[in-house]
Amino acid sequence: MSAADTTAPAKVPPARPAPPPTPPAVTSSPTRRLAGGAAVPWALLAPCLLILAVVLGYPLVRLATLSFQEFGQSQLWGFKPAESVGFDNFAKVLGDSEFWAVVVRTIVFAAACVVFTMVIGMAIALLLQRVSGWVKTLINIALVASWGMPIIVATTVFKWLFDSDYGIFNALLSKLPGVDMIGHNWFASGPEGLAVITLLVVWGAVPFVVITLSAGLTQVPKELEEAARLDGAGAWGVFRYVTLPILKPIIVMLTTLSVIWDMGVFPQVFVMRNGHPEAEFQLLTTYSYDKAFVVNDYAQGSAIALLTVLLLLGVIGVYMRQMLKIGEVE
Amino acid sequence: MSTATVSGPRRSKLGWNLLGLFVFVTAGFPVYWMLNTALKPAKDAIDPDPSLLPTSLTFANFGRALDIADFWGPVGRSLVVSLTVVVIGIVVGMLAALAISRFAFRGRKVVIVGILAVQMVPLVAMIIPVFLLLNDLGQYDRLTGLIITYLTFILPFTVWTLRGFIVNIPRELEEAAMVDGCSRTTAFIRVVFPLLAPGMVATSVYGFIQAWNEYLYALMLMSQQNQTATVWLGNFTTKHGTEYAPMMAGSTLMAVPIVVLFLLVQRKMAAGLTAGAVKG
Instruction: Express each pLDDT in A288-314 by its tens digit.
Output: 999 988 888 889 999 999 999 888 877
Please report the beta strands in B38-182, taking only residues with DSSP state E, as ranges in sequence order.
none
What residue in B sits closest to A163 (Cα-Cα)?
Answer: B244
Per-residue model confidence (pLDDT) at position A110: 94
Residue A290, sorted as left (phi over 0), alpha (psi -120 to 50) or beta, turns out to be alpha
Whether residue A36 and residue B46 make contact (CB cut-off 8 A), yes or no, is no
**C-alpha R_g of chain A:** 26
Whether residue A48 and residue B149 make contact (CB cut-off 8 A), yes or no, is no
Burial of B145 (0-12, 13-18, 19+ CB in 10 A): buried
Q: What are phi and psi of A154, to 5 degrees?
A: -60, -45
A74 in Cβ contact with A86 (< 8 Å) = no
Residue A301 touches chain B, beta carbons under 8 Å: yes
- CA–CA dist A129, B29 (Å, integer): 23
Q: Which residues of B touch A40 (CB under 8 A)?
A: 99, 103
B121 in Cβ contact with A309 (< 8 Å) = yes
Residue-wise pLDDT tens digits, A145-182: 888 888 999 999 999 999 888 888 988 888 888 888 88
Whether residue B93 and residue A48 make contact (CB cut-off 8 A), yes or no, is yes
Angle at B3 between CA B1 and CA B4, to 5 degrees: 65
Q: What is the 3-state secondary structure (H, E, C) of A27-68?
A: HCCCCCCCCCCCHHHHHHHHHHHHHHHHHHHHHHHHHHHHCC
Per-residue model confidence (pLDDT) at position A120: 97
- CA–CA dist A64, B63 (Å, integer): 48
Region B56-61 average pLDDT: 85
What residue in B sits closest to A285 (Cα-Cα)?
Answer: B124
Per-residue model confidence (pLDDT) at position B274: 59
Angle at A142 between CA B274 and CA B60, to 5 degrees: 130
Taken in order A173, A113, B252, B149, the sign of the CA dihedral is positive
Per-residue model confidence (pLDDT) at position B48: 74
Q: Using 50, 70 and 90 to split pLDDT, how confident is the model at B10? A: low
Q: Using 50, 70 and 90 to split pLDDT, how confident is the model at B41? A: confident
What residue in A sits closest to B27 (Cα-Cα)?
Answer: A142
Burial of A40 (0-12, 13-18, 19+ CB in 10 A): middle
Q: Which residues of A touch B105 (CB under 8 A)?
A: 36, 38, 41-42
Burial of B72 (0-12, 13-18, 19+ CB in 10 A): exposed
B174 in Cβ contact with B49 (< 8 Å) = no
Q: Nearest CA to CA, how far is A322 from chain B (Å)?
A: 8
Q: Which residues of A touch B102 (CB under 8 A)?
A: 34
Tell me what the pLDDT averaged over chain B comes to.
Answer: 84
Question: Of B17, B50, B95, which has the smallest distance from its Cβ to A48's Cβ?
Answer: B95
Residue A218 touches chain B, beta carbons under 8 Å: no
Q: Using 50, 70 and 90 to split pLDDT, how confident is the model at A45? A: very high
Residue A104 touches chain B, beta carbons under 8 Å: no
Question: Of B16, B46, B255, which has the smallest distance from its Cβ to A150's Cβ?
Answer: B255
What residue in A sits closest to B48 (Cα-Cα)?
Answer: A166
Q: Which residues of A touch B103 (CB under 8 A)?
A: 34, 36, 40-41, 44
Residue of A152, A161, A282 for testing the chain B interface, max B β-carbons within 10 Å: A152
Above 50 in pLDDT, residue A54?
Answer: yes
Region A15-42 average pLDDT: 52
Higher-scoring residue by pLDDT: A33, B260: B260
What residue in A sits closest to B169 (Cα-Cα)?
Answer: A330
Residue A205's nearest CA partner among A147, A291, A122, A289 is A147
Residue A289 touches chain B, beta carbons under 8 Å: yes
Contacts of residue B16, defined as CB under 8 A and 6 or more positions apart, other chains included, come to A127, A130, A131, A135
Residue A258 touches chain B, beta carbons under 8 Å: no
Q: Which residues of A touch B209 (CB under 8 A)?
A: 148
Residue A329 touches chain B, beta carbons under 8 Å: yes
DSSP state of A20: P
Burial of B194 (0-12, 13-18, 19+ CB in 10 A): exposed
Cross-strand bridge partners of residue B7: none
Contacts of residue A259, defined as CB under 8 A and 6 or more positions apart, other chains included, come to A110, A114, A312, A315
Burial of A159 (0-12, 13-18, 19+ CB in 10 A): buried
Q: Which residues of A touch B218 (CB under 8 A)?
A: none
- CA–CA dist A134, A128 (Å, integer): 11
Residues in chain B: 280
Question: Of B103, B120, B259, which has the smallest distance from its Cβ to A316's Cβ?
Answer: B120
What residue in B sits closest to A34 (Cα-Cα)?
Answer: B103
> What DSSP string runs through A133-172?
HHHHHHHHHHHHHHHHS-HHHHHHHHHHHT-TTT-HHHHH
H or E element at residue A70: strand A69-70
Report how far apart, in Å, the C-alpha atoms of B162 and of each of A166, A213, B123, B203, B245 are.
46, 20, 22, 7, 41
Residue A34's nearest CA partner among B172, B159, B109 is B172
Q: Nearest CA to CA, how far is B278 from chain A (Å)?
A: 6
Per-residue model confidence (pLDDT) at position A195: 96
Residue-wise pLDDT tens digits, A96-134: 999 999 999 999 999 999 999 999 999 999 999 999 999
Residue-wise pLDDT tens digits, B199-242: 898 889 888 988 998 998 998 899 888 899 889 888 887 777 77
Whether residue A146 and residue B270 make contact (CB cut-off 8 A), yes or no, is no
What share of chain B in percent tops pLDDT 90? 25
Region B74-102 average pLDDT: 93
Provide the whole-model pTM: 0.84
Residue of A40, A56, A302 for testing the chain B interface, max B β-carbons within 10 Å: A56
Per-residue model confidence (pLDDT) at position A147: 86
Report how far apart, in Å, the C-alpha atoms of B134 and of each of A76, A324, B139 are.
12, 34, 5
- CA–CA dist B163, A330 (Å, integer): 10
Lowest mean pLDDT among A270-274, B50-54, B224-228: B50-54
Strands B241-242 and B237-238: antiparallel
Per-residue model confidence (pLDDT) at position B180: 87
A238 in Cβ contact with A129 (< 8 Å) = no
